Structure 1
Amino acid sequence: MRHRAIQILFCLSVLATFAAAQTVVEGSVRDTSGNPVSGAELSLHHTPGNTVQSTHSAANGTFRFSGTEAGTYTLTAAAPGFFSSVHNFVLRPREPLALTIELQRQERVSEQVEVHATYQTIDPEKTGSSYTFTREDLERLPDPLLESSNDLVTNLMPGASDSHDNFLAIRGTEFSLHEFINGVSFLDNAQPQFNPGVSPQIFETVDLMTGGFTPEYGNRFGGVLDITTRSGADLGGHGDVNFRGATLDNYDINADYGGQAGALGYYLFVDGFTSGRYLDPPEPRELYDFGKGARAAAQLDWKWGSKDAVKLLLMGGGTSFQQPNITDDQLVGRDAQRHLRQETGILTWLHTFSSETLLATSVYARDGSDRVLPTTDPITPYSFASRAPFTLGVKSDLSRYWHGHFFKAGMDLVRLRELESFFFDSRGDPDVFPAFSGGLKGGQASFYVQDHFSPLPNLTADLGARYDYFDFIDTAVQLSPRVGLAYHIKKTKSVIHAAYNRYFSPPPIEYSLLASFIGHNAVDPSQRVGDVRAYTQNYFEAGWAQELRPQISLELNAYLHTGHNSFENHEISISRIFVPINFHTARSNGAELVLNLKQWDRLGITGRFQYAVARTYFYGPITGGFAGDEPLAAGERIIPAFDQTHTGTAQ
């Protein structure tokens, strides 16, 4: 079914309307005494300086910019009899922002023009833990951090640990990196073993979120990458070609180009790479670990009038890599390989009814293939596996600003198809597994409602709920309340926040059919634990953010989550085929410290330091999937293989 996702997407584009994920900037203009300033001229500029919108403050000093993309912005305010004011800030995807602009009155007509500039170092309304990086921030990072989303997360997301074969665990949850691309999410895991990945070089912004998720962000939690992709409208018919070379056959060449023709913006990106250390091997010595791949992306942006905007994003990629060996397997010539291919299409549309009401709808599709090729040596176990996933979805939400409340209600409907096969010849190895070939169709229906508002001065609340009906292998239903609070202490430039979230995570889709098949048909009857199941969690978080000086902040967050049917991946013998397994319950707690130097003007440096301490426990018995040969007794406790107590990174 190659390219089926893209073909279906274009067919549907003729029949329906589609969406984007944008947000609102609103606020008020006041003088130094707190009185409203009416008629002030406000201009919103997107870096590198294009004017996005302009307006005037109302009689009560209020203003609003609707349908605004995430990114770095400068807001200028000017009024007769006042000095001008400049406010610099980063707008997060899908997160409304409220600003108070203060203008200083000119005491004498003869006074020279003076511009007062401010920078929003910490977000006073952020009720969870997240860290936003703009395109300008990403371009300052060392090139190796931009090779993949895994590399980006490992180095910049607190609480993330990189285990064997580049599997990521985030805050005690494996199979947990959840990509949210232009407002759309997929159930696929962003792991190099399963996915060619999205290049960070096409990001306009990325919000690395670790807690306090509003209902629209869906399922599968440990960490969320809220990504908005680049538009070519700012490139002005220019582009770049970049080459990087390093030891261990690490090479990368990429190019991009973009511009605008009338109302149409266009952006193209291509990338090819090789690596002699493609995956983190099972032992420190480098044995049979070469990989290569290519990725491409194209985006078209079209605006007509002041009410509508359309964005089409097409992405494709593939990787072919060796499955790394341990020394004993290398000596006998084991040479198993893996080939991954994936195509994604997202067509988005935004309609602005008024400055208070936005309608967004999305249609998205993804097609892929995964082939685990067997070894040619005659000694080690022989294994072959393949999977062919397909996803088709529609997401729509309505946002309404009303008397200080920013309401959003929406739905997300997903159709899934999964084809899998597996064959294993032990060649004398004691592990024995039945052959499998099968397919399944299913889906998910989700509905959510949320409100962002300020019930008291300096206090912000995010309240909402999400309903999920998941029908794939097993059927599960859950209503998930989510609550977040943030209190801004203006005098000390501090923000204290806390959140409670109820989460529902569907089973990892990668080889979930195979895991459930083994769960019913294992050769050892004691390992027949049934289907892999959904993971449900109660998640608590509290934190404190402090501005130390403009563009320098310190953040401290602590969390605790407990749940049922927690996930971990389990390898089938030495096949390098990883399938999900459920444990009865899990508990994880930890704390994270982040020092962020966005820009220290006096020294001319930027930097970031983060440290995390965590502990995770799984409790038996095993309740679903591939149990392996070490099933836990009821109540027995283990520390999972991915657990990492202390993690520190610095740039």
Structure 2
Amino acid sequence: MNDRNTPIHATRAWMIGAALCLLTGGAAYGDVVGRLHIVVKDADTEKPAAGADVVLHDTANVRPDITLKTDAAGGAVSPPLENHAWDVTTRADAFEADHRTINVAADNTTEVEVLLEPKTEKVIKIKDSRNLLRSSQTSDATERSRDFLNKYPATAGNPQSLPKLLITNPGFVESSVNVVHPRGEHASTSIYLDGVALPGALQGRAGQLLSPETVQSADILTGGYAPEYGSETAAILNLTLRAGTIAPLRSFSLQGGEFGTFDGGLTFGGQGGKTLTPGVEGPAPRRFRYLVDLNTRSTGNALEPPQPNDQTAHNFGRSSTLFGKFDYIAGDRDTFGLTLNAAPAETQIANRTGLPGKYAPIGQGFGYGGARNADGTIAQDAGSPDALGSGTLVLPSQQAAGQDIVQTDTNNFGMVNLRHTFSDTVTGLFGIGGSHSGLNLHNNSPSIDPNSFNPDGTLTQTDNSIEFNPTLNRVYDQTELQGSVTASAKSHTYKAGFELQEQRGNESYQFDPQSQLALDALAGVDGRLAPAGAGEVDGSGNPVLDVLGNQVYLATPGAKTPTLHVHRSGYYRAGYIQDTWTVTRRFTLNYGLRLDSYHQSQEASNGRDDEEDTSLTKTELSPRINASYLLAKGTVGRLSFNHLFTQPPLAQGAIVGTSIKPETLDQYDASVEHQIGANQTVKMAYYYKNIRNQDDTGILIPDTQIGAYTTLNYQFASVHGFELSYDLAPKNNVGLGGYLAYANSMAKAGGLDQSGAPAPEVNDHDQRNTVSAGISYTLPSQASAGLDIYYGSGEASSTLGSIVPTNSTVLDNGDRHDHTRVNLRLASSPTLIAGAVGLKLDVENIFDNRDVLNFNSGFSGTRFEQGRRVLVSIGGKF
């Protein structure tokens, strides 16, 4: 189908504007490179040390060493460097050498002061320290490196899980089914790979999008966004990907353990072609770099189950990640990059087997939505004793009844980029990419006779633990064109860039109801999904309700459940201009404007009702201003105001009948960060978000958990919170390390959603207190031990209450249920066996806590913490 509603003149205008950006210059788009301005002084006199040699060494072992020489003022500015850790060694005649590790800040010039001690007759060891504080960085960000992933077992139970890494950062609340909620919002997180924005992926996917194993370093941004960052803005992941190393890399890992879990990985990479430094013998930097990472995982406990005991009931999952990164240095000015990634997954939808007797007052998980008990009674008050479905009806569980629903995910993307150096001060980054996303539900469940009716017109099957036999398909293709240029001056870094994204996809929905209660619920969600018929009314014309509060639906005998087809298309356009101004050595100001435009149209038809077309277009200009100020040596304060525009999540909202509006908000951030000694930092932050048209994703058909999602707009919402974080980096990668991330926040929604229903007073993902912490110890042999703890005081959806509207019973006084998970990792030296192989023991959830995470949640139904999983692995190089 053609997108009849796309304004052609707007598209042309954006393309012309994009071309102008490229021709007139500006800044790198979401870049992952920055510069160092190193000033070398005599420690005694603080006079500049001219002629000092500064050697920059890439800790990722990808780029050759870079040697700088200080000028008369003792200063030297580096070329663009990737935003991870770099070793910096400074030497000068008559001075002791200085060695330190600097974390480069993306899109910024980091100020570094080196004080050299005069040589004395006594022997002085080279000074070794870490510059963890990026004082000129104006965003609220946390850096996580490959060393962090290796030392802490945050991803112990699933090495493919990027969300498990995110919750080590303050502001992220872990939910279920692969979702983390950043700063009070559902998801809406943009990912930038080596400076290029990744197209969005389908919500509700059970598999992963990108493996943490492919990441060299991650800047996790939650506030103070420069205008270059956009699309989905609850959080930003600015990732530097691994690349081919100077010395060839070949490694493997094999892991197995409880719940039938198996994980296997293979990584190989290196460099080839002509050397960049002629005449060097042995391993040397070369023009072509490659890295390939392959991983496969299978487990009988794939996602959080709907009961604490039987966690493997139809809960098997297998997933793979196939990643390749290829770079070619064509000359002094041009570097081409190609990134390819595929992440297929197949996951069973976990079946209910029944809850313990404790839950009888609110429903033990039998029948529609789990509202019925094992003895066949509906857990309810005496409000509607004659309602359809209120009688005693003993039913088998979903597992015993043979429910068999499977979800398959497809998540593929590829991108090509060119980094061009126009001059010593002007660089450009241009990229083109595309993605293919798919989410399918199919089933092999037993089916009832759809033509078996009672005399009153209702189905003879009143209730059933199998709610629907679904067939759902969502397939989307996206293309992106991005470009940007960076111009660095003495105290300014000017930037401008653009993004042009096209989205197009098809969806189909068929939910075959397996009981009358299911039919009533389906018709209440969207009449286009139900077979032909009408709602029942009494003699006064009032709707007749069933026990679950839905109007009884009388299907026409012989009518079939239709398939609703939806075609959606649209675009996202963005352009920005900004300046990062080093006002003084203490004060850095980032400011600018971003223009976002979003269009979506959809056409829906079920072959019976008239075709429905809807469309929406919204354009917004967003001012941003972010500041950092060095309050004292080692202490930086940050303030920011951001007006943000968030495009809706992909492929959601079609069934509601209206296009989803983009979310807009004003966000205020304030933080103070202090570096303690050589290798510790502590940070306090406060934020407030005033939101309009908040996007919140939930279950399409309430009270089920079969993998079908939709998105609602709440007219307004607010979030505010306090965060405290602490990081301790082991000196020289040996000794004690640790981190702490604490957040206290409140997320409130208000107004109406687009269906006219009132928004919940508190978002179901609101969690008041969250703690993520870890401690590690590393021996000189690199053998290590690590402990990781996650505590949540409970999302609003963790309270225990019945889904039956006439039942006001709540358990545990209606309080939220907290949950705690402790992970352990013991790793040998990586050269324990034959000088190249190591062993590792991971224990996920060592205390086997199986706390409730969600109960009848509007997003994920009922979910419990996964039980203890002991995993043993072997890995090494070959």
| TM-score, normalised by the number of residues in structure 1 | 0.88
Q: Does 1:503 align with 2:638?
A: no
Q: CA deviation at 1:486?
A: 1.3
Q: Give the whole-Å Cα distance in 1 for the aligned partners of 2:733 and 2:112.
A: 27
Separation of aligned partners in 1, 2:712 and 2:730: 44
Change (3 A) 1:238 1:187: closer
Contact in 1 for aligned 2:214/2:241 (Cα 8 Å)? yes
Residue 467 of structure 2: SS of its match in structure 1? coil
Aligned residues of 2:110 and 2:137 also touching (Cα < 8 A): no
Secondary structure in structure 1 of the residue aligned to 2:399 = helix
CA distance in 2, matches of 1:273, 1:191: 21
Change (3 A) 1:261 1:322: same
Q: 1:620 aligns with which of 751, 759, 772?
A: 751
Residue range with higher mean Cα deviation, 381-390 or 116-125: 116-125
Q: Which letter does structure 2 place at the counterpart of 1:317?
A: A
Deviation at 1:113, TM superposition (A): 7.2
Summarize deviations over 1:578-617 as a string: whole Å, max 9, x none: 1111111001111111121112689922111222111111
Deviations 1:379-416 (A, max 9, x none): 52222211111111111111111121111111111111
Counterparts of 1:243-282 in structure 2, within 5 Å, are 243-262=254-273, 263-282=287-306
Which aligned pairs between 1:215-254 and structure 2 lie closer than 5 A? 215-234=227-246, 236-254=247-265
- Select which of 458, 471, 481 maps to 2:599: 471
Aligned to 1:519: 656
Cα distance between partner residues in 2 of 1:382 and 1:553: 53
Name the residue aligned to 2:460: none
Show CA shifts across 1:206-225 (max 9, x none): 11111111111212122222
Map 1:68-467; keep pairs closer than 5 Å: 68-106=81-119, 115-142=126-153, 143-144=156-157, 146-154=159-167, 156-189=168-201, 193=205, 196-234=208-246, 236-262=247-273, 263-285=287-309, 286=311, 287-327=313-353, 328=366, 329-378=398-447, 379-427=466-514, 428=516, 429=518, 430-431=520-521, 432=523, 433=526, 434=528, 435-467=563-595
For 1:213 and 1:61, locate their aligned partners in 2 and report how far apart those are by CA, in whole Å.
32
The one-letter amino acid paired with 1:632 is A
Give me the whole-angstrom Cα distance separating, in 1, the residues matched to 2:130 and 2:587: 21
Instruction: Name the SS of the counterpart of 2:337 in structure 1.
Output: strand
Q: 1:48 to 1:365 in 2, by over 3 A?
A: closer
Among candidates 584, 605, 627, match of residue 736 of structure 2: 605
Corresponding position of 1:38? 50
TM-superposition CA deviations, 1:599-643 (whole Å, max 9, x none): 2689922111222111111102113xxx4xxx534xx65111111
Q: Which of 70, 77, 82 is residue 57 of structure 1 equivalent to? A: 70
Q: Write the distance in 2 (CA, Å) between the matches of 1:284 and 1:111.
A: 65
> Once the 2 structures are TM-superposed, how far is the Cα of residue 195 of structure 1 from its aligned partner?
5.3
Q: Secondary structure at the match of 1:582?
A: strand
More strand by share: 1
Query: Any unmatched runs of 5+ in structure 2?
Result: 1-21, 274-286, 354-365, 367-397, 448-465, 529-562, 602-615, 775-878
SS in 1 for 2:164: helix
1:122 to 1:347, Cα distance in 2 relative to 1, 3 A = same
| Equivalent residues of 2:199, 2:435 under 8 A apart | no
Give yes or no for contact 2:688–2:718 (8 Å, CA) kept in 1.
yes
Q: Is the 8 A contact 2:202 2:437 kept in 1?
A: no
Aligned residue-pair number? 610
Q: Partners of 1:303 and 1:456 in 2: how far apart?
A: 36
The answer for the alignment partner of 1:632 in structure 2 is 757
CA offset digits 1:137-183 (Å, max 9, x no partner): 222222436331112113x1212122232322111110323221122
1:486 to 621, 624, 628: 628
2:248/2:271 contact within 8 Å kept: yes
Post-superposition CA distance 1:396-446 (Å, at most 9, x none): 111111121111111111111121111122332112232421323321221
Secondary structure of 2:302 counterpart: coil
Partners in 1 of 2:184 and 2:80 — Cα distance?
A: 36
Deviation at 1:536, TM superposition (A): 0.3
Cα contact 1:163–1:280 (8 A) shared by 2: no
Q: Does the 8 Å CA contact 1:187/1:508 hold for their aligned counterparts?
A: no
C-alpha offsets along residues 268-313 of structure 1, whole Å, 9 cap, x if unaligned?
1110001222222344342322110111111112213322222211
- The DSSP-based 3-state class of the residue aligned with 1:173 is coil
- Residue of structure 1 equivalent to 2:689: 561
Q: Residues 291 and 322 of structure 1 are in contact (CA less than 8 Å); yes or no, is this contact kept in structure 2?
A: yes
Is the alpha carbon distance of 1:130 and 1:146 closer, same or farther for their aligned partners in structure 2, counting shifts above 3 Å? Answer: farther
Q: Give the whole-Å Cα distance in 2 for the aligned partners of 1:265 and 1:601.
A: 27
1:44 and 1:104 map into 2 onto residues whose CA distance is 20
**Partner Cα separation in structure 2 for residue 543 and residue 41 of structure 1:** 36
> What amino acid is aligned across from residue 595 of structure 1 in structure 2?
Y
Displacement of 1:121 in angstroms is 2.4
Q: Is the 8 A contact 2:580 2:590 kept in 1?
A: yes
Q: Identify the range of structure 1 (181-190 vs 559-568) with the bigger mean alpha-carbon deviation.
A: 181-190
- Secondary structure of the corresponding residue to residue 150 of structure 1: helix
- Seen in structure 2, the aligned counterparts of structure 1 residues 41 and 203 have a Cα distance that, compared at 3 Å, is same
Q: TM-score, normalised by structure 2?
A: 0.66
User: C-alpha distance in 2, partners of 1:44/1:602?
Assistant: 18
| Aligned-partner Cα distance in 2 for 1:188–1:410 | 19
Give the Cα–Cα distance (whole angstroms) in 2 for the partners of residues 204 and 602 of structure 1: 16
The structure with more radius of gyration: 2
- 2:11 maps to none
Q: How far apart, in 2, do the equivalents of 1:21 and 1:130 lie?
A: 13
8 Å CA contact 2:32, 2:238 repeated in 1:
no
Distance 2:107 2:748 in 1: 34
Hey, what's the Cα distance between the residues in 1 that align with 2:745 and 2:571?
Answer: 34
Q: Which SS does the other structure have where 1:152 is aligned?
A: helix
Identity %: 21
Q: Sort the Cα spacing of 1:68 and 1:402 in 2 relative to 1 into closer, same or farther, 3 A.
A: same
In 2 relative to 1, CA 80–258 (structure 1 residues): closer, same or farther, beyond 3 Å? same
Cα contact 1:168–1:176 (8 A) shared by 2 = no
Aligned match of 1:67:
80
- The CA deviation at 1:252 is 0.7
Partner of 2:40: 29
Contact 2:190–2:230 (Cα < 8 Å) also in 1: no
Residue 189 (structure 1) shift: 4.4
Cα separation, 2, equivalents of 1:486 and 1:105: 33
Give the letter aligned to residue 294 of structure 2: V
Equivalent pair of 1:169/1:175 in contact (CA under 8 Å) = yes
Does the 8 Å CA contact 1:196/1:341 hold for their aligned counterparts? no
Cα separation, 1, equivalents of 2:115 and 2:201: 45
Matched residue type, 1:300 = F
- 1:566–1:582 CA contact under 8 A, matched in 2: yes
CA distance in 1, matches of 2:191, 2:477: 17
What's the counterpart of residue 523 of structure 1? none
Deviation at 1:349, TM superposition (A): 1.6
